[in-house]
Structure 1
């Protein structure tokens, strides 16, 4: 990747939609589906160890729904970040795999929501539903690794080194140093 391509990948396509330079919205928004889906798996597992599992099964189902909605919001701004990456680069290939895995996981969770909704939440979460959530979360972890690679290795939507250097120049201004 050339220096010009690196600078292109750092700039937002739309600062209003994707976040201003150095402050992308995508990393903020992905915390919603990640948190909701991790919590849903915890609820799934907990539904097997309590006397009245129905409330946990219902809670897991609605956490999955929250995660799907959050994933769709994260996908919109993530797609805008994707548009800033020059085609034919390792960063673009990584971004396409990252996006594909996220879409797969989101579809799996959406399907899991409808499966759960159709089955009702009378007892503990079934083994198939639990397995779907666990596998989906594992794939999400792989995708998250690739997202980290995009930001921390390839610098996609990360401020350039000259801008980052501002945090390391000058004397501290108080007890907090900033």
Structure 2
């Protein structure tokens, strides 16, 4: 294959990674739903960890322990919604590329994190809240480790968008936002 043919193939694959598999389900070109949906689990899980830590500071920690558990559940539901849309975005990335491998690691980490939080929620439900005490150290540690893994996965998600341009509008389309209007 000639250099021009390789460039044409690369250009085709890059355009493919920017287009949604289904605009109705994954978001229109240049405006994917996945980054919007991930804010729910991230916010819920960060807040849950804050509640976990705060439960060790206040006099009556039961309400924080209960709130933290329900934030875990909200995060799991939000993560499942984000995963469905993210999976559609994965289909747009050509297999065998660095972007595809990065996306697989990103997805795998997110699924492991979601499973850890689901297990954490089940663990908290099995223990009950009868004592109204602070979140036990093991459950707090599980949340902290899962949140650290989520941070690593978020880094990879940023790499997909900002370095590889997955589902980001082409630079030629972006340039329209920087053109100045000339006076008539």
* Unaligned residue ranges in structure 1 (runs of 5+): 174-178
C-alpha change, 1:54 and 1:15, in structure 2 (3 Å) is same
Q: Give, in angstroms, the shift of residue 172 of structure 1.
A: 8.8
Match of 2:47 in 1: 39
* In structure 2, C-alpha distance between the alignment counterparts of 1:18 and 1:172, rounded to whole Å: 36
Q: What is the count of residue pairs matched by the alignment?
A: 173
Q: CA distance change for structure 1 residues 38 and 5 in 2, over 3 Å: closer, same or farther? A: same
How many angstroms apart in 2 are the aligned matches of 1:9 and 1:58?
A: 42
Cα deviation 1:119-162 (Å, max 9, x = unaligned): 11221000000000000000000000000000000000000011
**Misfit runs of 4+, over 4 Å:** none
Q: Determine if the alignment matches structure 1 residue 103 to structure 2 residue 111.
A: yes
Distance 2:180 2:36 in 1: 29
Q: Which residue does the alignment assign to 1:11?
A: 19
Q: State the alpha-carbon separation in 2 of the partners of residues 172 and 117 from structure 1.
A: 63
Task: After superposition, give the CA deviation of every residue in 1:36-79 in whole Å (9 maximum; x if it has no partner).
Answer: 00000000000001111000000000000000000000000000
Q: Which runs of 5+ in 2 are unaligned?
A: 1-8
Query: Take 1:172 and 1:55, find their aligned partners in 2: how far apart are those partners?
Result: 60
Could you list the per-position Cα deviations for residues 68-115 of structure 1 after superposition, in whole angstroms to 9, with x for gaps in the alignment? 000000000000000000000000000000000000000000000000
Distance, in Å, in 2 between the alignment partners of 1:145 and 1:171 is: 36
Which of 72, 93, 97 does residue 85 from structure 1 map onto? 93
Aligned CA RMSD, in angstroms, stands at 1.3
SS at match of 2:169: coil
**TM, length-normalised to structure 1:** 0.95
Given the two structures, how large is their TM-score scaled by the length of structure 2? 0.92
Secondary structure of the residue aligned to 1:2 is helix
Match 2:177 to one of 146, 158, 167 = 167
Q: Which has the larger radius of gyration?
A: 2
Structure 2: distance between partners of 1:135 and 1:120: 22
